Amino acid sequence: MLTSALGWWAIFAISAIAALPALAATLLLLTRGERKHTARLDVPGALTVTAGLTLLVYGLGARGTTPLPDFAVPAAGLLLLLVLMPIERRANDPLLPPVLLRNRAAVTGNLLMLLLGAVCVATFFFLPLYQQKVLGYSPLGAALTQLPLAAALMAASWGAGRLRGTLLPGLLVLAAGLFWLARLPVDGAFLTDLLGPSLLIGAGLGLAFVPLTALGVGGVEPRHAGIAGGLINTSRQIGGAIGLAILTTLAAPAAGRAVPGPADLAYGYRRALVAAALIALLAAAGTGVHLLHHRSRAAAAERAHPAATPAPETTPCALPLQGEPAPGPPTHQPNHPGTFHEALPHRPLHPARRRDHRP
């Protein structure tokens, strides 16, 4: 609606306007007196990572449009990102603490988020282009037909927060939806060609984003939780920028004629969406490797520290009392603390009932 009435600049302006209340609340609520430690801004690290990412993304998207070789600008960006590590080791308050790079779960989560970000941005970029340039939808019509995708994403995100093990199934569902969407017929219809894959894509994204975010931030120290959360969101944005720069080059040759027709455009978008589906499968494979490694480490730890005795059977006497911890392995002490016997009254046996056990 904004683009139809005001143009594309309106979507960027509304984002800036929406950020103003958050900025005001930050200045009012986060006072300096409540901070225990005020970190210094890591200016060298911030400049290095910004320049490196800018050169990397620009170099991938501007291939063939500069007098330099195609690999020169991205290579310069990668070189700056490699230089970032020594800078961060010397910084008193590093922008990217090196300890996070030694956390296997955090590194895996960010790498997978790079891939998922590429898939997500590619989907929301090429789908509206197909709807408007091939099917002839208006910007408002294209936005309305994406509401089922958004609804499926929100519902799946809500469910993923209450379930376990949704990352791998979510990535597989996402890949299936992208392969289905990649058909992109020139005379496609919403109900037969867009609704089904949109629901699968939304469900896959929702099932994958929640556990992947938890993977990236769940295993870090509490003092690094904020940095880990910012890093996982940055990885999603970087993955989207790099993925879009690469995938647009796949779509460009087919649409690079002087006046490309709907069939040419659809063919180019089809190639990009197939590549996005393959990226989702790559993320699923990486998730499978991570799960296998995690299970093998857990099994090795269990073999290295086996239980001394088997767990007691669940019998009425073995059940813990209300408010007491579960009973441990049986011991030779009849009044072992924390067991059922501790709550029994200690009544002395009547002298008349005693039996004289004589040898």
Q: How far is CA 297 from CA 136, 287, 292, in A?
A: 54, 15, 9
pLDDT at residue 108 is higher than 90:
yes
- The confidence band for 32, taking pLDDT boundaries of 50, 70 and 90, is low
pLDDT one-digit tens code per residue, 116-147? 999 999 899 999 999 999 999 988 899 899 99
Range scoring the smallest mean pLDDT among 8-17, 77-86, 251-260: 251-260
Write down the pLDDT at residue 177.
Answer: 97
- The confidence band for 347, taking pLDDT boundaries of 50, 70 and 90, is very low
Write down the pLDDT at residue 307.
Answer: 57
CA 286, CA 28: separation in Å to the nearest integer? 43
Q: Under 8 Å CB-to-CB from 106, ≥6 apart: which residues?
A: 100, 216, 217, 219, 220, 228, 231
CA 283, CA 247: separation in Å to the nearest integer? 16
Q: Which of 218, 127, 123, 221 is nearest to 167 (CA)?
A: 218
Range scoring the smallest mean pLDDT among 34-48, 97-111, 183-197, 225-239: 34-48
CA 216, CA 283: separation in Å to the nearest integer? 14
Q: How many CA atoms within 13 Å lie on the side-chain side of 1?
A: 2
> For the chain, which domains are there?
42-96 (no CATH), 99-299 (1.20.1250.20)
Write down the pLDDT at residue 201.
Answer: 97
CA 123, CA 277: separation in Å to the nearest integer? 10
- The confidence band for 305, taking pLDDT boundaries of 50, 70 and 90, is confident
CA 10, CA 26: separation in Å to the nearest integer? 25
Mean pLDDT of the chain: 81
Quick one: DSSP state of residue 63? T
Question: Average pLDDT, stretch 88-94?
Answer: 87
Residue with tokens 């690094």: 224
CA 178, CA 127: separation in Å to the nearest integer? 10
Residue 183, Cα to own-chain centre: how many angstroms?
27
pLDDT at residue 355 is higher than 80:
no
Question: Average pLDDT, stretch 172-182?
Answer: 97
Write down the pLDDT at residue 344.
Answer: 41
Q: What are phi and psi of 66, to 5 degrees?
A: -120, 155
Q: What is the pTM (predicted TM-score) of this model?
A: 0.76
Residue 171 backbone class (left: φ over 0; alpha: ψ -120 to 50; beta: rest): alpha
pLDDT at residue 343 is higher than 80:
no
